[in-house]
A and B are shown apart, each in its own frame.
Chain A
Amino acid sequence: MKILKPIFCSLLVLILLFTGRVNASEKIVWLSNVPPKSLKKTVSKYGMHRLCAAPIKRNMSKGIQIIQWVRSGTSVAHSAYVSIDQLKKRKFNIFCFSPSSKRIIAKLASLGGKSVLKFLDYEEGYFNLYLVTRRVSGDTLYINIAKAELLSHSCRNGHKNVRKAVKPKIFPKDIPFEIVRKRRLNENFHFNISSGDRFTYQPLFYGKPVSGILVNMNTEKGWTKKMTTDDEGNVEVQFIQDYFSKWSEVRKRRIYYYLIYAGFTVPEMGKFQNKPYSYVHYTTSLSDSYYPSRTMYLSKVWGLVIFVVTLIVIAVGIFVFRERRKKPYKEYVFDESE
């Protein structure tokens, strides 16, 4: 009897593999703000959120071209940059929405052989950029929705309509499945996520929250967290401090990136590119940035200041104490004749 159990399990795995119900090799495609090392010098950084942009020249009347890199994998630091040829093999759609929720043109381009999505930045606030890819494998249609929320802001453009511009936006008509980060009340154009902050993320399927699905989060430093959405379809994440300061790393403005992704399968019959499928697997990803903890440097500065002040106070105290104990010089003259 003991030997039957492993044989049964192995058979089940083989059956599932051959029928295509299990396909773990499907890699997540996501949008990244970080260029490959070799191409760092060919791009610029734009705005206070340092969005990756095409080279910026003075007096550009046509606006700034924001660039996002298409990557594949789940590691923020090591995911591959998808080449233009690889991406063209798949069926894909690009969607881009301005802060005022208008659909604008975004194009696929090649930069050093790597795929990038480009759009023209002309408005202050969050741009929503999506890359939707579809592919049939076995009896499953894989729909991968890579999302980037890009906060475009340059103080020279002013700070009008802040509340409206930073609100999260969803587009269920075009985007079936996406993750939304719920905003805080104090968010404005200058807002950054920092280590220690707690945020709620909500995967939305055609605009409605989905409960009980797995959500994964990976940070650039390698921290990973797996969560399941609650009854209201939310997951709450506290960004850990995975940034420890060495002297060489003491930079408050160093930006780190994270990737959050979720997926689930629904039974749905259909045909895609003449290939029939019985299931649809939806995957969505969202990549954004975070900064080191706000209090980390503050606590260090306070520590150092208190140390130096105490050192000076004690040293002065001891000096004064010693000086006060000194007896004034007195000369005694003895007259030996007396």
Chain B
Amino acid sequence: MKANKKIIKYINNTNLSRFRFWFQIFSFIIFVYGSYFLIDLGQNIPTFACPYNPGSPGTCFLISIQHQMHTTWSALFSWRGVGFLTSLLSFVLFFVLFNKAWCGFMCPLGTIQDWITKLRNRLGIRFSNYDEKSFKKLSWIKYVLLVLLVFIPLAIANSIFGLPKVSHDMMSPFCQICPARIILPLFSGDTSQIFINFRSTVTLVMSLLAILVLALFFIGAFVKKRFFCFFCPMSALQYLFSKIGILRLTKVGDKCTRCGNCSRVCDMGILSIAEDVTSVNVVTDNCMMCFKCVEACPEEGCLDVKVLNFKLFSSTEEGFFKRFNPAGDSKELPPSNQKI
């Protein structure tokens, strides 16, 4: 029992952000260079494993959806539909294991944004945050993108409401504007994705849009933490299945003092984590399960990371002071002349 308590104490006092930093590097190597190590994770990965990147060990599920939706209604509701359901099941099985931690710990595009944030920190430039109104309004964009990436391929193969079919050049519409398509191949030395496609008006507009989104991605990530994640349709899709994830982030509202530490450290700027004292499951559509909130919570057992009902990592007063007070386990702040 004593040994168990020691292990739990060690885990709760650990600096999870540091672990996350190294885990992200490991995941980045897997999802960007995995195929060079003969890793094959299939075609339904719940994170940006971009097939345009020659080193990718698999395919992001979004491209699978777009390909499978590019079919006639009759085909979709026959055996092809079974194929889609199998893909979806495979995606869900992957997703259920880590829930939205796929975004916080494994997404290569998210990792790049975190590196850009670190660079901004080093340069001493302040970051921006959305106000509450903008936050709520912008949160819908990812759902709109998700709906479009499903319906545009369907509208290529079918006439919807008697309207003319959409141009074939709109195939895989989200991939055409996704910054991962351009950025991730660069890490394998492939520069071929930076282009303006002059083949048709549609390809011209889409490739132009892709370049604009790319520029917006870099600048956005520089001034706003995890800028792109806010608009990511993968995040929206994941949230639809978030409730069945075995990895959970829970809150005991009675223990919350509404100090606001959790929302202040949140890279996504989620306010509800501090304000909501009634919900147990505090994972929202914008949450990426980085668990910075748990690290920053000084209340004993207020926020917990659980696998099913087993507590994996909990907020503790001691852990909070260990992480945020480098003077040691003392609850007092270090003297002012001491270097931090």
Pick the residue among A247, A295, A306, A322 that contacts B198 (CB under 8 A).
Answer: A295
Q: A306-B211, A307-B214, A310-B212 are in contact. Are A299 and B192 (CB under 8 A)?
A: no
Interface presence of A246 (CB below 8 A): yes
B194 to chain A, nearest CB (A): 4
Q: What bracket does the count of chain A residues touching chain B fall in? A: 10 to 19
Binds A, one of B56-64, B108-116, B216-224, B256-264: B216-224
The answer to whether A302 and B196 touch across the interface, beta carbons within 8 angstroms, is yes
* Contact B218–A245 (Cβ < 8 Å): no
Q: CA–CA, A40 to B218, complex, Å?
A: 46
Query: B215 on the interface (CB 8 Å rule)?
Result: yes
In whole angstroms, what is the CA distance A325 to B332 when docked? 37
Q: List the B residue with the shortest CB-CB distance to A298.
A: B198
B192 touches A244 (CB 8 A): yes
The residues of A that contact B215 with a CB separation of less than 8 Å are 307, 310-311, 314
Contact between chains at B190 and A303 (CB < 8 Å): no
In angstroms, how far is the closest chain A Cβ from the Cβ of B131? 12
**Secondary structure at chain A's binding surface: helix, strand, loop or mixed?**
helix
- A299 is contacted by which of B190, B198, B216, B219 (Cβ under 8 Å)? B198
A312 closest partner in B (C-beta): B215
Cβ–Cβ contact B194 & A311, under 8 A: no
| A303 engages B218 (CB within 8 Å) | no
Whether, in the assembled complex, B189 has its beta carbon less than 8 Å from a beta carbon of chain A, the answer is yes
Verify B216–A246 contact, CB threshold 8 A: no
Q: Does A324 contact B (CB under 8 A)?
A: no
Residues in A with CB closer than 8 Å to B208 are 306
Q: Which residue of A lies closest to B219 (CB)?
A: A314
- Please report the C-alpha to C-alpha distance between residue A311 and residue B128 in the assembled complex, in whole angstroms: 17
Q: State the CA gap A311–B179 with chains docked (Å).
A: 14
Distance, CA A306 to CA B207, complexed state (A): 11
B191 in the interface (beta carbon within 8 A):
yes
Contact A303/B192 with A311-B219, A315-B219 known, Cβ cut-off 8 Å? no
**Which residues of chain B have C-beta atoms less than 8 A from A310's C-beta?**
211-212, 215-216
Known: A247-B189, A310-B212. A303 touches B195 (CB 8 A): yes
Question: Is there a chain A Cβ closer than 8 Å to B159's Cβ?
Answer: no
Q: Which of A298, A300, A307, A315 lies at the interface centre, i.e. has the most chain B CB atoms within 10 A of its CB?
A: A307
- Report the bound CA distance from A314 to B208 in whole Å: 16
The distance from the CB of A249 to the nearest CB of chain B, in whole angstroms, is 10
Q: B207 to A245, Cβ gap below 8 A? A: no
Q: Are B197 and A307 in contact (CB under 8 A)?
A: no
Report the contact-size class of chain B (Cβ under 8 Å from the partner): 20 to 34
Contact residues in A for B196 (Cβ distance below 8 Å)? 299, 302-303, 306
Question: Shortest CB–CB separation between residue B203 and chain A, in angstroms?
Answer: 10
| A308-324 at interface with B (beta carbon < 8 Å) | 310-311, 314-315, 318, 322
Chain A's nearest CB lies how many Å from the CB of B311? 42
Which residues on the A side are within 8 Å of B194 (C-beta)? Answer: 300, 303-304, 307
Residues of B within 8 A of A318 (CB): 128, 219, 223
Q: Which residue of A lies closest to B224 (CB)?
A: A318
Give Cα A244 to B194, complex, Å: 13
Chain A positions 236-255 with a Cβ under 8 Å from a chain B Cβ:
244-247
Contacting residues, chain B, for A298 (C-beta < 8 A): 198
B219 touches A306 (CB 8 A): no
Q: Do B189 and A306 touch across chains, with their CB atoms under 8 A apart?
A: no
Given A246-B189, A318-B223, do A300 and B195 touch, yes or no (CB 8 Å)?
A: yes
Closest chain-B Cβ to A326's Cβ sits at a distance in Å of 11
Which B residues are in CB contact (< 8 Å) with A295?
A: 198
- B:158-214 near A, CB below 8 Å: 189-192, 194-198, 207-208, 211-212, 214
A239 CB to nearest B CB, Å: 16
If A314-B215, A318-B223 touch, whether A299 touches B195 (CB-CB below 8 Å) is: yes
Shortest Cβ gap from A69 to chain B (Å)? 33
* Given A303-B211, A306-B212, A307-B214: A247 touches B219 (CB 8 Å cut-off): no
Q: Give chain B residues whose Cβ lies under 8 Å from the Cβ of A246.
A: 189-191
Q: Which residues of chain A have C-beta atoms less than 8 A from B192's C-beta? A: 244-245
Q: Are B191 and A307 in contact (CB under 8 A)?
A: no
Best-buried of A299, A302, A303, A304 by chain B (most CB within 10 Å): A303
Q: Chain A residues with Cβ under 8 A from B189's Cβ?
A: 246-247
Establish whether residues B207 and A303, one from each chain, have CB atoms under 8 Å apart when the complex forms: yes
Shortest beta-carbon distance, B328 to chain A, in Å?
A: 38
A75 to B305, CA, bound (A): 62
Tell me the bound Cα distance from A315 to B198 in angstroms.
27
CA of A295 to CA of B191, assembled, Å? 16
Which residues of chain A are within 8 angstroms of B128 by Cβ–Cβ distance?
A: 318, 322
Chain B residue at minimum C-beta to C-beta distance from A304: B194
Question: Is A247 touching B191 in the complex (CB atoms < 8 A)?
Answer: yes
- Asked if B191 and A299 sit within 8 Å, CB to CB, the answer is no
- Cβ distance A221 to chain B, nearest Cβ, rounded Å: 15
Tell me, rounded to whole Å, the shortest Cβ–Cβ distance linking B117 to chain A.
Answer: 15
Per-residue CB contact flags for chain B residues 209-244 toward chain A (1 = under 8 Å, else 0) read: 001101110110001000000000000000000000
Q: How far is A314 from B219 in the complex, measured between Cα atoms in Å? A: 7
* Cα of A337 to Cα of B192 in the assembled complex, Å: 73
Bound: A306/B189 CA distance, A = 21
- In Å, the complex CA distance between A141 and B95 comes to 69
Rounded to whole angstroms, the CA-CA distance of A298 and B195 in the bound complex is 8
Chain A residues contacting B207 (CB-CB under 8 Å) are 299, 303
Output the least CB separation between A322 and chain B (Å). Answer: 8
Query: Contact: B223 with A307, CB < 8 Å?
Result: no
A307 CB contacts on chain B under 8 angstroms: 194, 211, 214-215
From B190, B195, B218, A311 is in contact (CB under 8 Å) with B218
Closest chain A residue to B212 by CB distance? Answer: A310
Q: Which 4 residue pairs across A and B have the least CB separation, nearest first?
A: A310-B215, A302-B196, A299-B195, A303-B194
A-B contact pairs, 7 of them (CB 8 A): A244-B192, A245-B191, A246-B189, A246-B191, A303-B196, A306-B208, A307-B214
With A306-B212, A310-B211 given, name 13 new contacts (CB 8 A). Answer: A246-B189, A246-B190, A247-B189, A299-B195, A302-B196, A303-B207, A303-B211, A306-B196, A306-B208, A306-B211, A307-B194, A310-B212, A311-B218
